[in-house]
Amino acid sequence: MGSDAAMSPKITVELLRQLRQAMRNTKYIAEPIQAYIVPSGDAHQSEDIAPCDCRREFICGFNGSAGTAIVTEKHAAMWTDGRYFLQASQQMDNNWTLMKMGLKETLSQEDWLISVLPENSTVGVDPWIIAADQWNNMSKALASAGHSLVAVQDNLIDAIWMDRPTRPSTQLLTLGLGFTGLTWQDKMTALRSKMAERKISWFVATALDEIAWLFNLRGSDIEYNPVFFAYAIVGMNTIRLFVDIKRLAVPTVREHLQLDTPSKAELSVQTAPYESVFTELQAVCASLGPKEKVWISDKASCALTQVIPKSHRSPIPYTPLCLAKAVKNATEIQGMKMAHIKDAVALCELFAWLEKEIPKGTVTEISAADKAEELRSQQKDFVGLSFPSISSVGPNGAIIHYRPLPETNRTLSLNEIYLLDSGAQYIDGTTDVTRTMHFGSPSAYEKETFTYVLKGHIAVSAAIFPNGTKGHLLDSFARQALWESGLDYLHGTGHGVGCFLNVHEGPCGISYKTFADEPLEAGMIVSDEPGYYEDGMFGIRIENVVLVVPAKPKYNYRNKGSLTFEPLTLVPIQAKMVNTDLLTQKERDWVNEYHRQCRETIGAELERQGRKEALDWLIRETQPIA
Amino acid sequence: MGSDAAMSPKITVELLRQLRQAMRNTKYIAEPIQAYIVPSGDAHQSEDIAPCDCRREFICGFNGSAGTAIVTEKHAAMWTDGRYFLQASQQMDNNWTLMKMGLKETLSQEDWLISVLPENSTVGVDPWIIAADQWNNMSKALASAGHSLVAVQDNLIDAIWMDRPTRPSTQLLTLGLGFTGLTWQDKMTALRSKMAERKISWFVATALDEIAWLFNLRGSDIEYNPVFFAYAIVGMNTIRLFVDIKRLAVPTVREHLQLDTPSKAELSVQTAPYESVFTELQAVCASLGPKEKVWISDKASCALTQVIPKSHRSPIPYTPLCLAKAVKNATEIQGMKMAHIKDAVALCELFAWLEKEIPKGTVTEISAADKAEELRSQQKDFVGLSFPSISSVGPNGAIIHYRPLPETNRTLSLNEIYLLDSGAQYIDGTTDVTRTMHFGSPSAYEKETFTYVLKGHIAVSAAIFPNGTKGHLLDSFARQALWESGLDYLHGTGHGVGCFLNVHEGPCGISYKTFADEPLEAGMIVSDEPGYYEDGMFGIRIENVVLVVPAKPKYNYRNKGSLTFEPLTLVPIQAKMVNTDLLTQKERDWVNEYHRQCRETIGAELERQGRKEALDWLIRETQPIA
């Protein structure tokens, strides 16, 4: 992304004129609408979206990850949160009002609409890109003020977006048992037994990572996310996969899905075009018996949800696929371990290289991130990055969601802290790691705060807790040392991580926000990433991906069993940044044992790959601390 | 309560026959109803209730604090939770089915009704004792199955309850500025400014402790709770108090409320009979302007909530009174401190006395609790206990909500742990303290688990955390040491405590259950009470009431400020039970500093009161640990 595109406002006069025209055009709607809502998601409620789905960015210019635009006959407003106030104000022109979410004086979308709309107005939205629960809330609020919310089937942005990119349809990759541990047929059978248990006749899969996981297929339709656009409808004897049919012409894919020679009737996959999911679901619902129930995620699109008559609809916060996918099997765990070893090799090389190059004054945030990508790409089964690298020097490190751009790009030096939060997709697993380093002499204050963050990281990583504990109950352990000194960080501590899938996934996590997280279970994989950010100065974050494993403490209360974490990330934590006086003996032991593992496991692989300089660096960086 | 009443089943054949007759009697309802729901609450959703409101106990015999009975033409079922399975099964006869909540196979009330009712049935409930949100949920569930929920204005239990006690109408006590710190007029003005801020015209107060707090009045209508039956409706120029008018004949009360000589028109209190709140609220609502809004708690009764037309109703989880009451002012804090000093004096005396008497083999759980009450009653401004004492020896200590009964009463000995959880109401404050003691030689295991509980208690009490932190984020600190050894306890860690009001109050608390608690603020008062329970063996709990106070750590991140706790309870923690090897130096320092405060503050008061033996005991029990 170039600097001009990112930071000068998009001129939207003409676009808004066209959109307002479309809002009155009976080609799209029976009656004119007085407002049109443009949410930021796609039809699958994906966190990252494809260029063809960046409709909110198209209409207002703001390209952050979260934001909703609403256009009325006279006004245009865009809601986003504190991370993006500055960026949004720079990217939007004067036709737009920035609605700063989280500030007391900022009206909600509903209240704003009610305040600006004439009586008895009609508000339109594309029902495919608004979730069913959001539709309900908006619809109720508008109705209480005499307005109504209507579904506009043709997307009005698409109608005026002349050079809209086409929906990607990348090549599908089939994953064998060596990567997945379970055939898609096994997963289908497990899904059906969950359905039978709850007396559910049909399940509608709408989340892209769940569909990719279920069929042991991967794509690259969305940058950083190895997924492909699809829907699936599963009955007790039926499997329907909705996907661009062209993608199924490949022999390996046909064979993988047994499209031509299904082994059993109930495991025969019927394929249909991506767009036909709506009419096919209608057909399924038309033939439902009086007591039959259909499972669909409560985050699925309003359009698809409403196809299912209310009496047959059974919305669930986490689908059985989401829950099954979160608990990794032995093969997936092995794959994740392998991926993290390769990833650590690349990072050890990077840091050894940085140490040599930084004094020359030629390494920048962007070139360091590029070098990290280059080194990762040399590793076996590398596919791509798992998210845009956060490569940040000094004050840029305090911007939590920073991405280096040419106009913000700082040079790495011996005087400033360097924070690198990066990760990759390998066919055997997904990584996500943050290390914070100083290549000169850190100040006492930098060391002190780094050490508090490290204490928090260890407190979570070494925590022992009962089976059935939800991740949010561990969040305060990560903050305790910072809190004791009056410090804190304003983000959660961890998120679920997919296996060669999205780097963020549900249903588990570690956060002070009490979202409806599911209890941690052995085999789940989450990140552990406390931080500290001093505005205008520096940012610190220490992030490992960790695996939930059984623990064996002295007692076993009510036979509940205990859990703890095992780090999958094996990259040294810079000892130079640690004020060891602030660590307890237990914490020092943890660091030394962690570094012993790094040296043993990554050292062997560096040796095998003949990467001598990185090996020397690793050995030096993993010396025990006193 | 005698043992027969408590433990043999109540014979309910005749009562059920009468109730079923009433369910068909057109004197009470236009059309017969097929089921009648008997919730356990009163019209104010009080946690403890008066005898006249014990309708669920009357109909089924079960007298635990939580449970709902439902009677149909053919069935009678009662839902309660795991604390009460044994007790309920002993107290109910064969006409009743015990529905064990929390077990997977147990149907919810809705699902059970749907499974047993004939088509198109009508289910009745007294709208005064079901909360508005519960009504909505039940009504929706029944409607989805073709049944309907109707409000039965005459309570059908009252109709068949011949010797039903009358509603208490105890003498009102007026509290002066020396106890409250704010006149009721000040509180009224503050309430109105909150209303003005949110553009609210009227506020309906339904919670008894909120009304008592607002008017600086106390009663004794409900055992342990110094409250009185009343409602209040407050407008910007109007104050209506609904209470048994006879109570207002007392000159001190008339003067306190300025009933005869109001200082200002808008502070003139109009009084009306308790029962007239319904018609008066109807009159208020009839005169509302089109945009006027009425605040009412979302936990208020369905009857009163539904008087307010939906378009004018603004339900809130915590009323402004609940929030204001939770933050104690300087006078209240001073009163709470005084109450805790007196309470500690009584407990030091008790423990010194127990030490002498236990070897004689004559002290039982009941007589120890009685002695505690006697000693407390000698203290100035003692009013009564704040809840039934949990006085438990050995295995009884593992029953978390234990109350000694003649048939369970154990003798205190030198061989078993003694747990006493007790508290009192004084005019200046409310106390709640738990100490766990061994009067002989505790085993290594008892000491070990006690020490883990102590570590958890200290971790919460000494925690420093940012302003704005919710209490539930501190819960895991209390469990960390137990978890590390594979242990846990199955209750929350703390609850809000009133000031000469209910010993349990909202909106703050410390619990793993993520209820909608409000952030902790300086001036709030909560309990800190982790425990450990070994079924059939012993129970351990260490509980202090603690005050939220500002903390001054080294840094002040984003000027947010920090908080910590100051113990109000000042009763020694038995050093004999501590395995000091398991404590860190910081924890040992905490214990020694705490005991220094106990000795200094309580020692001075014991000296002043000339209670020499207790003073000697205190001095011995507060020796520093090494």
Q: Tens of pLDDT along B463-519?
A: 999 999 999 999 999 999 999 999 999 999 999 999 999 999 989 999 988 667 899
Residues 526-585 of A with CB under 8 A from B: 551, 553-557, 560, 562
Whether A389 and A397 have beta carbons less than 8 Å apart is answered as no
Whether A514 and A541 have beta carbons less than 8 Å apart is answered as no
B230/B262: higher pLDDT: B230
Whether A461 and A442 have beta carbons less than 8 Å apart is answered as no
**CA separation, residue B532 to residues B389, B399, B473, B474, B556 (Å):** 19, 11, 20, 18, 36
Mean pLDDT of B31-37: 97
Model pLDDT, residue A559: 95
Which residue in B473, B483, B557 is closest to A466 by CB distance? B483
From the CA of B472, how many Å to the nearest CA of chain A?
8
Cβ–Cβ gap A488/B480 under 8 Å: no
Of A306, A325, A344, the residue that ends a domain is A325
From the CA of B158, how many Å to the nearest CA of chain A?
38
Whether A3 has a pLDDT exceeding 50, the answer reads no
For residue A488, give the chain B residue with the closest CA: B557
Chain A contact for B141 (CB, 8 A cutoff): no
Model pLDDT, residue A144: 84
Distance of alpha carbon B326 from its chain centroid, rounded?
A: 14
Percent of chain A with pLDDT over 70: 99
The residue type at A282: Q
Q: Number of folded domains in chain A? A: 3
From the CA of B499, how many Å to the nearest CA of chain A?
29
Q: Tens of pLDDT along B384-420?
A: 999 999 999 999 999 988 999 999 999 999 999 999 9
- Is residue B568 located within the same domain as residue B578? yes
- Is residue A496 located within the same domain as residue A617? yes
Q: Tens of pLDDT along A428-464?
A: 999 999 999 999 999 999 999 999 999 999 999 999 9
Q: Report residue B5's pLDDT band, with 50, 70 and 90 as the boundaries.
A: very low
Model pLDDT, residue B513: 83
Helix (H, G, I), strand (E, B) or coil at A351: helix
Whether A16 has a pLDDT exceeding 70, the answer reads yes
Chain B contact for A474 (CB, 8 A cutoff): yes
Whether B3 has a pLDDT exceeding 60, the answer reads no
Which residue is it, tokens 């508005």? B132
Peptide bond before B9: cis, by omega within 30 degrees of 0?
A: no
- Is residue B341 located within the same domain as residue B302? no
| Residue at A3 is within a domain | no
Q: Report residue B145's pLDDT band, with 50, 70 and 90 as the boundaries.
A: confident
Rounded to whole angstroms, how far apart are CA atoms B439 and B360? 12
Helix axes A109-116, A132-144, angle to 10 degrees: 40
Q: Tens of pLDDT along A178-236?
A: 999 999 999 999 999 999 999 999 999 999 999 999 999 999 999 999 999 999 999 99
Which residue is it, tokens 């505005």? A535
- Is residue A418 located within the same domain as residue A364? yes
Rounded to whole angstroms, how far apart are CA atoms B410 and B534? 17
| Residue at B7 is within a domain | no
Rounded to whole angstroms, how far apart are CA atoms A301 and A43? 6
Which residue in A465, A486, A553 is closest to B555 by CB distance? A486
For residue B144, give the chain A residue with the closest CA: A311
Q: What is the CATH number of the domain that holds B90?
A: 3.40.350.10
Whether B30 and B58 have beta carbons less than 8 Å apart is answered as no
Of B270, B294, B325, the residue that ends a domain is B325
CA angle centred on A372, ends A369 and A374, rounded to 5°: 110
Relative to beta strand B531-534, strand B538-541 is: antiparallel
Cβ–Cβ gap B477/A476 under 8 Å: yes
| Residue at B42 is within a domain | yes
Mean pLDDT of B565-583: 98
Chain A residues whose beta carbon lies within 8 Å of the beta carbon of residue B144 = 311
- Is residue B334 located within the same domain as residue B432? yes
- Is residue B186 located within the same domain as residue B140? no
Helix boundaries (H) for B117-226: 132-144, 156-160, 177-180, 184-197, 208-215
- Is residue A118 located within the same domain as residue A259? no
Task: Supply the DSSP string of B471-515, one letter for each residue.
Answer: GGGGHHHHHHHHHHTT---SS-SEEE--SSS-SSEEEEEE-SS--
Mutate to test the interface with A, among B512, B514, B537 (most CBs of A within 10 A): B514
For residue A463, give the chain B residue with the closest CA: B484
Relative to beta strand B433-438, strand B505-510 is: unpaired
Whether B327 and B548 have beta carbons less than 8 Å apart is answered as no
Cβ–Cβ gap A488/B554 under 8 Å: no
Q: Report residue B1's pLDDT band, with 50, 70 and 90 as the boundaries.
A: very low
Residue A301 β-bridge partners: A131
Percent of chain B with pLDDT over 70: 99
Structure tokens belonging to residue A460: 């979570």
Whether B550 and B532 have beta carbons less than 8 Å apart is answered as no
Q: Report residue B291's pLDDT band, with 50, 70 and 90 as the boundaries.
A: confident
CA angle centred on A244, ends A243 and A247, rounded to 5°: 100
DSSP secondary structure code for residue B293 in this structure: -
Whether A99 and A108 have beta carbons less than 8 Å apart is answered as no
| Residue at A167 is within a domain | no
The residue type at B489: Y
Which residue in B485, B512, B556 is closest to A486 by CB distance? B556
pTM for the model stands at: 0.94
Q: Tens of pLDDT along B326-366?
A: 999 999 999 999 999 999 999 999 999 999 999 999 999 99
By the 10 Å C-beta count (0-12 exposed, 13-18 middle, 19+ buried), A536 is classed as exposed
Q: Report residue A1's pLDDT band, with 50, 70 and 90 as the boundaries.
A: very low
Model pLDDT, residue A7: 66
Model pLDDT, residue B103: 86
From the CA of B560, how many Å to the nearest CA of chain A?
9
DSSP secondary structure code for residue B316 in this structure: E
- Is residue B298 located within the same domain as residue B415? no
Residues in chain A: 626
For residue A465, give the chain B residue with the closest CA: B483
Q: Report residue A513's pLDDT band, with 50, 70 and 90 as the boundaries.
A: confident
Rounded to whole angstroms, how far apart are CA atoms B51 and A407? 74
For residue A460, give the chain B residue with the closest CA: B480
For residue B551, give the chain A residue with the closest CA: A486
Mutate to test the interface with B, among A469, A483, A512, A534 (most CBs of B within 10 A): A483
Whether B616 has a pLDDT exceeding 80, the answer reads yes
- Is residue B499 located within the same domain as residue B360? yes
Whether A383 and A224 have beta carbons less than 8 Å apart is answered as no
Whether B414 and B359 have beta carbons less than 8 Å apart is answered as yes
Structure tokens belonging to residue B30: 């236009």
Chain A contact for B476 (CB, 8 A cutoff): yes
Which residue in B144, B512, B557 is closest to A486 by CB distance? B557
Whether B6 has a pLDDT exceeding 70, the answer reads no
Q: How many CB pairs under 8 A join A and B?
A: 72
Model pLDDT, residue A291: 85
Whether B423 and B431 have beta carbons less than 8 Å apart is answered as yes
Mean pLDDT of B36-62: 97
- Is residue B257 located within the same domain as residue B321? yes
Q: Report residue A626's pLDDT band, with 50, 70 and 90 as the boundaries.
A: confident
The lowest-confidence range among A16-30, A502-516, A596-610 is A502-516
- Nearest of B249, B250, B213 to residue B228 by alpha carbon: B213
DSSP secondary structure code for residue A310 in this structure: G
From the CA of B144, how many Å to the nearest CA of chain A?
8
For residue A482, give the chain B residue with the closest CA: B465
Q: What is the CATH number of the domain that holds B384?
A: 3.90.230.10
Q: Tens of pLDDT along A240-299?
A: 999 999 999 999 999 999 999 988 999 999 999 999 999 999 999 999 998 899 999 999
By the 10 Å C-beta count (0-12 exposed, 13-18 middle, 19+ buried), B250 is classed as middle
| Residue at B5 is within a domain | no
From the CA of B570, how many Å to the nearest CA of chain A?
24
- Is residue A429 located within the same domain as residue A298? no
**CA separation, residue A525 to residues A104, A475, A520, A540, A572 (Å):** 37, 16, 9, 23, 20
Residue B565 β-bridge partners: B548
Structure tokens belonging to residue B377: 């009653």
- Is residue B144 located within the same domain as residue B206? no
Strands of B372-530 (E only): list them. Answer: 382-385, 390-393, 417-422, 424-426, 429-430, 433-438, 465-466, 494-496, 505-510, 525-528
| Residue at A4 is within a domain | no
Mean pLDDT of A496-523: 92
Helix (H, G, I), strand (E, B) or coil at A306: helix
Model pLDDT, residue B328: 98
Chain B contact for A255 (CB, 8 A cutoff): no
Whether A215 and A184 have beta carbons less than 8 Å apart is answered as yes
| Residue at A6 is within a domain | no
Mean pLDDT of A485-512: 96
Structure tokens belonging to residue A458: 């260890």
Sequence-separated (6 or more) residues with CB below 8 Å from residue A171: A219, A220, A247, A250
Chain A residues whose beta carbon lies within 8 Å of the beta carbon of residue B472 = 514
**CA separation, residue A108 to residues A57, A70, A100, A147, A167 (Å):** 20, 12, 10, 16, 32
Structure tokens belonging to residue A205: 């899969």
For residue A532, give the chain B residue with the closest CA: B557
Sign, CA dihedral A238-A243-A248-A253, equals: negative
Whether B296 has a pLDDT exceeding 80, the answer reads yes
Residues 510-529 of A with CB under 8 A from B: 512, 514
Q: Could you tell me the residue range of the domain that residue B246 belongs to?
A: 173-325
Q: Characterize B477-506 residue by residue with b for buried, 16 or more Cβ atoms within 10 angstroms of its Cβ, and e for exposed.
A: bbbbbbbbbbbbbeebbbbbbbbbbbbbbb
Which residue is it, tokens 């958890």? B456
| Residue at B166 is within a domain | no
Model pLDDT, residue A4: 38
Structure tokens belonging to residue A69: 């635009």
Distance of alpha carbon B506 from its chain centroid, rounded?
A: 9
Cβ–Cβ gap A488/B512 under 8 Å: no
Which residue in A488, A554, A557 is closest to B466 by CB distance? A488
Task: Supply the DSSP string of A480-497, one letter for each residue.
Answer: HHHHHTT---SS-SEEE-
Mean of the per-residue pLDDT values for chain A? 96
